[in-house]
Amino acid sequence: MNYYIITGTSKGIGKALAEELLKEDNNYVVGVCRNSTITHKNYRHQPLDFSDIPAVEHNLQKVFLPYNDAEKLVLINNAGVLGDIGYVGEAMPNERFEFVFDVNVIVPAMLMNTFLQVYQQHPAQKLIVNISSGAGKYPIDGWASYCASKAALDMLSMTVQKEQDMRGSGVKVFALAPGIVDTQMQENIRQADVERFSTVDKFRDYKETNALAQPEEVAAKIIQFMHNADKYNDVVVDVRNM
Ligand SMILES: NC(=O)c1ccc[n+]([C@@H]2O[C@H](COP(=O)([O-])OP(=O)(O)OC[C@H]3O[C@@H](n4cnc5c(N)ncnc54)[C@H](OP(=O)(O)O)[C@@H]3O)[C@@H](O)[C@H]2O)c1
């Protein structure tokens, strides 16, 4: 059996990924986020709110069960939030930085840490895919905490891959940007005020001109990528270049 532990399976890219993987009988998916929207014999949901760090810490062992029959163990850190759109220093509540970093960086780091620790002796092939963003590579006004969190996720991925290489573990780690995808996150982006995010019209145009990728096609590309993960040497990758 191949075990996929995927965060954020209730909607968007994570849900499409889980549903595509569940088409194969030898795949099992453990979904982790607040809401459960998938019913399938090979799906188990672990409810967790990533903005509640003590609760995440308390429930980690429920996510990473022994899975003794696993041939493949995959962690996909997909759950993510954009946070409040607006300029730093202009009515941005301080606690929102913590919220975005908890969901986008701290919990993915905790999950990677626990995954690598718990399965260190497990003979299965191991893979970690962190869903990052182009927004971690250049600044976008109004998105400071999101851009910074995705840059942090890229560096976390590169550092962990370096460590795994130095240990000779064979574990592969990626920070994968999915492109611009037609999900709830994009819907929220389009509703922003131009005064707080100067390029909002560009994102409204993406929708109007059908330039957004569908979650199902992105999920299929990510699954194809995971099948060929050994062929990729760069940690930071973009679905649009595959
Ligand atoms: N859509 C794009 O254009 C785009 C572009 C670049 C990168 N990305 C990245 O792709 C990933 C998926 O995005 P998406 O567009 O599919 O977003 P989405 O449709 O908004 O879905 C986000 C997922 O994250 C989960 N989540 C949010 N807050 C959470 C919390 N506090 N605790 C646990 N889980 C939480 C949600 O589950 P619950 O609400 O049930 O908890 C949901 O399943 C994100 O990391 C995002 O940054 C997206």
Query: Cα separation of 12 and 214, whole Å?
Result: 9
Protein residue with its CA nearest to atom 24 in ligand 1: 79
- Residue reference for tokens 């976390």: 156
At a CB cut-off of 8 Å and minimum separation 6, what does 183 contact?
A: 11, 12, 13, 215
Pocket of ligand 1 (CB under 6 A): 8-14, 33-35, 48-51, 78-81, 103, 131, 133, 178, 180-181, 183-186
Pocket test for ligand 1, best of 6, 11, 49, 51 (most atoms within 8 A of CB): 11
Note the pLDDT of residue 91: 85
Note the pLDDT of residue 109: 98
Note the pLDDT of residue 92: 87
Q: Classify the C-alpha dihedral 161-177-85-57 as positive or negative.
A: negative
The pTM (predicted TM-score) of the whole model is 0.98
Positions of the chain with pLDDT under 70? none
Ligand 1 atom with least separation from CA of 99: 31
Residue ranges per domain, the chain?
Answer: 2-179+214-241
Q: Which fold has domain 2-179+214-241?
A: Rossmann fold (3.40.50)
Residues marked as catalytic: 146
**Phi and psi dihedrals of 162, rounded to 5?**
-60, -45
Protein residue with its CA nearest to atom 37 in ligand 1: 8
Between the two ends of the chain, the Cα-to-Cα distance in Å is 26
**Residues 56 and 109: beta-carbon distance below 8 Å:** no
The DSSP result for 128-157, as a single string, is EEEE--GGGTS--TT-HHHHHHHHHHHHHH
Distance from Cα 56 to the centre of ligand 1, integer Å:
17
